[in-house]
A and B are shown apart, each in its own frame.
Chain A
Amino acid sequence: NAGVMQNPRHLVRRRGQEARLRCSPMKGHSHVYWYRQLPEEGLKFMVYLQKENIIDESGMPKERFSAEFPKEGPSILRIQQVVRGDSAAYFCASSPLRQGAGNIQYFGAGTRLSVL
């Protein structure tokens, strides 16, 4: 069973460009989460999605950031008009739909975004 797949592993963008980060959850998982880790800082929650629905986007910056998890295909985190402060590691996690047994999230290897 393949783990959570993120691509690309490394992404370099110039200021003002768009960044698109992809995440394929583990097979059978219907919940996807995105976290950001700025250099030398801890992980911060960004957004939680189920198929075709955004459940919690309380950690998303108000502008330039968006996320989707379509019926078919991977989840996408999109950052428009990137700035240097967007340089970070972006981690995706997935979990199965399972109530009453704890919420175990499985993380991908991350995408390292560098903005020049």
Chain B
Amino acid sequence: DAKTTQPPSMDCAEGRAANLPCNHSTISGNEYVYWYRQIHSQGPQYIIHGLKNNETNEMASLIITEDRKSSTLILPHATLRDTAVYYCIAGQGGSEKLVFGKGTKLTVNP
């Protein structure tokens, strides 16, 4: 699985968009980019994933660069409840393990 690099922490004002970057320069052609988050000590929560195209769902948008070496998770209107550690993971589409790094600790401030 490709290694991912994320900033250790970020701050965002409530109501503003939160843009979380992730570098995955060694990603292979068949590897997806997954985003999960962990709020305090809860179980990780799936957010979104993509292969090549940008993706959007009710939680977030995922922007993947054309060369697929980096991506950005966008929370369009961050709330206090979005404060969490966000993990960017590169992995194949088969049924295999997820390799979690240290993630980005996002703090949404009032």
Contacts and interface: CB of A to CB of B under 8 A. Distances in A.
Report if A and B associate in a common complex: yes
Interface of A: 4, 31, 33, 35, 42-45, 48, 55-56, 58-59, 89, 91, 93, 95, 97, 99-110, 112
A38 B108 CA distance: 25
A32 to B, nearest CB: 10
B103 A42 contact: yes
A10 to B, nearest CB: 12
Contacts, number: 68
A109 B43 contact: yes
Interface in B28-48: 32, 34, 38, 41-46
Interface of B: 32, 34, 38, 41-46, 49, 51, 91-103
- Tell me if B's interface is mostly helix, strand, loop or mixed: loop
Contacts of A105: 46, 98
A97 B102 CA distance: 28
